[in-house]
Structure 1
């Protein structure tokens, strides 16, 4: 396929340029025609009525509450939460199952983007507490409670990730009809328990959970069609880094504005950065650390004790990289934006840039920058630099998982 030259001299193929143009066009159209507001006006009243109508049923279901059930469903929610997968996926990379790990990472980023986009577009409430008893045993659950309700992210992610793991095991491992039936039954049981747990904990209504399962099924079906093409592009495609960096930037804008601020966009930004870091790192090191010939855990080349050594070395390393990249980006990004004339504010990371009338006046004074004409096409006047800082730190963390840390393993013969 012929390459065309994009702005800045980066060569993009026709389909890449068309895809990026489509996303940029969607951002403009959604802003110009108020598509989020129109969709919310149609969906939010119906969902809100359903949540209110289901409140008595939730209260009756919660009458069976018990400390053991509270603990069981709280632990189950942690097992399928974003922080759990954030810790689990690096271990999957370092165990030699790189293809499964990168596919699950990209799938999770895809799920997080679509699920949170729908949440913030609809802006439908969770079951009211009180009267519903809401159990938030961890800080992660307390942050989840600040998001909107429909669809249930836990249900959506569980369907996609359990479904993809089952597909991967049955595709690449030995199996018979009994194993297929057992695997499918366990996956369905796990999804059902997660869904029941979200209602029991007072985090979601039945409508939220059903929507999460349905969205998850559609996303999983789509991913099973395209995942081999995505993986082939990531490991051996053309202009992968340029395309993915451009797509990551556009996805920061191709996100609906919620009725009231929630942490959902922060989660999207983090996984957007993780996806880019994984893609960039795999591009650089695929033939060294991530090809099909790398040793798997429990093999003679990678015994369990060596894997434990990898974990003890790898976890501190990626945390140090995340800390350092955050500190560097907090200093560097504001300087770059000011130099280029991009108006910025900060919601938490950079106290000197916190939004105020004074800072807005300063931002307006900087609008003469030559990039301002480009950024004025997007629906904000001043940009939250925290988004860039968050993106950089998680992209750096993900890059270190697949590039820096495996290089250290090689040096240490782990």
Structure 2
């Protein structure tokens, strides 16, 4: 398959040998899908008509930065892009995805560090929610391709660009761990001895700086964000960590020392945050990440409050993990074997719950919504089909394959000219009419996409309840999806924080590592 090169002269992307090397480093074959147009690229009048005047004015101000920064990013890519760097920054970007956090965050609760897990989860949830609110509120596109070349895993290119959620999360995480390092190196009590040496402290700081650089600069290198996106994301991350450092202990005390008022406040508050999330002009998937994290936090608070008030607090978890003494090689092997078993069973339990709960909700919620629609007016979100317009949710909405490390090379996507095409789609002519140049291609995608598929309503809002998949098929959203996600991810929070650690303690595997 011949490569569709960016319509930019004298750039790195114009050289076929560089493109081939980049594909080889990323593990891309000829059947790998290229990207479909991202959010925020409809004609300007669509946003002016749909958004309030002051919201549209904010978008135009950000858009002016995106326009000139896109050329700056393209010039940078032309100078520094290399196949090895392509692979590195693409794959390290997966460290900021919600799937990665869904796998890694539970480990804090499985291995006796719930305080760290609570803090990280709360900061990440606030970061994802606040940044997604900004994204759907401002509707600002990512850097334009061309002139930039965009590399990504998954569907993050379909989101708006401002601000960078990856930058927000990486900075808040780095500051969280830096605070732990600082306290270990400089104890608050003058009489206390440092827990770590100066060399360990400096090494830790270096690792954190390198982590932040890899994530933040990686967003620029891969063409996923502008400098403005990353700068605001960094500021948000620092602000969120500061808020946690100031208020975290008070929130913990409130949950520990109060009765039913805690779930009575937390549950409605989280549901309200889901309901009041801004509605975008385009079909932007970042709303779904916001739902997921808010719901996990809701489950975390409910589980933590229940455990503290019904006998499953710190005093319940007394067993150390088998082999925790590490006195002999046999102890070391026992500890690592137990840790591997706990990780596999714990993560697998979460994924089984996710699949089973999705299927249950998709079976129960649509008829429930249809019944309630005759009694009250149900809230409706743009791009989500109401239950009165469908009889059942397609099976693939409930049973989606779980990505693995083996799948990563096939999830990598490359956008070089503003609109992508699947090689298989080319063979059957699905995208035969799509033009090479970005402007015309964007226009045609817009005409066939969310704004023009079924027309617009009286307020200029897109009426079509879906987006376009990688293979060109229509992807529809259903109103049951929202409450399904809330139920599923709230359950994930409850299981990761409460149910699974209690199960490990009862089975004798313990959660204490020493």
TM over 0.5: yes
Distance 1:270 1:39, change over 3 A: farther
Decide whether aligned partners of structure 1 residues 91 and 290 sit closer, same or farther in structure 2, where only a CA change above 3 A counts: farther
Q: Report if the CA contact (8 A) 1:93-1:101 is conserved.
A: yes
What residue number does 1:47 align with? Answer: 62
Deviations 1:247-276 (A, max 9, x none): 011101221121212001111111111111
Residues 47-126 of structure 1: matches in 2 within 5 Å? 47-63=62-78, 64-126=80-142
**Cα deviation 1:78-126 (Å, max 9, x = unaligned):** 1232221111001111011011001111111111110110111111111
Structure 1 match to 2:287: 265
Residue 272 (structure 2) aligns with: 250
What is the correspondence of 1:15-414 to structure 2 with a 5 Å cutoff?
37-63=52-78, 64-136=80-152, 138-139=153-154, 143-171=155-183, 174-175=195-196, 179-238=200-259, 239-286=261-308, 291=314, 299-300=324-325, 303-340=335-372, 341=375, 342-343=377-378, 347=384, 351-352=390-391, 384-414=479-509
Could you tell me how far 1:68 is from its partner in structure 2? 0.5
Is 389-398 or 311-320 further displaced after alignment? 311-320
Higher helix share: 1
TM-score where L is the length of structure 1: 0.77
3-state SS of paired residue (1:257): coil
CA RMSD of aligned residues (A): 3.1
Q: Secondary structure at the match of 1:303?
A: helix
2: CA distance, partners of 1:268 / 1:130: 29
Report if aligned partners of 1:94, 1:310 keep a CA contact under 8 Å in 2. Answer: yes
Structure 2 residues not aligned, in runs of 5+: 1-50, 186-194, 327-333, 394-453, 455-477, 510-514
User: In the TM superposition, what is the alpha-carbon distance from 1:333 to its structure 2 partner?
Assistant: 2.5
Distance in 2 (CA, whole Å) between partners of 1:117 and 1:68 is 34
Seen in structure 2, the aligned counterparts of structure 1 residues 51 and 334 have a Cα distance that, compared at 3 Å, is same
SS at match of 1:352: coil
Map of 2:9 onto structure 1: none
Distance 1:104 1:191 in 2: 16
**Bigger RCO of structures 1 and 2 (CA < 8 A, at least 6 apart):** 2
The alpha-carbon deviation at position 169 of structure 1 amounts to 4.3
> Shift of the alpha carbon at 1:343?
3.3
Could you say what secondary structure the match of 1:343 adopts?
Answer: coil
**Alpha-carbon offset, residue 318 of structure 1:** 1.5
- Once residues 357 and 216 of structure 2 are traced to their aligned partners in structure 1, the CA distance between those partners, rounded to angstroms, is 37
1:172 is displaced (CA, Å) by 6.1
CA contact (8 A) 2:132 2:286 kept: yes
SS at match of 1:299: coil
Structure 2 distance, partners of 1:294, 1:61, is 55
Gap runs ≥5 in structure 1 = 1-35, 358-382
The residue matched to 1:135 in structure 2 has which SS?
strand
Q: Work out which of the two has the higher radius of gyration on C-alpha atoms and give 1 or 2.
A: 2
- SS for the counterpart of 1:96 is coil
C-alpha distance in structure 2 between counterparts of 1:300 and 1:80, whole Å: 34
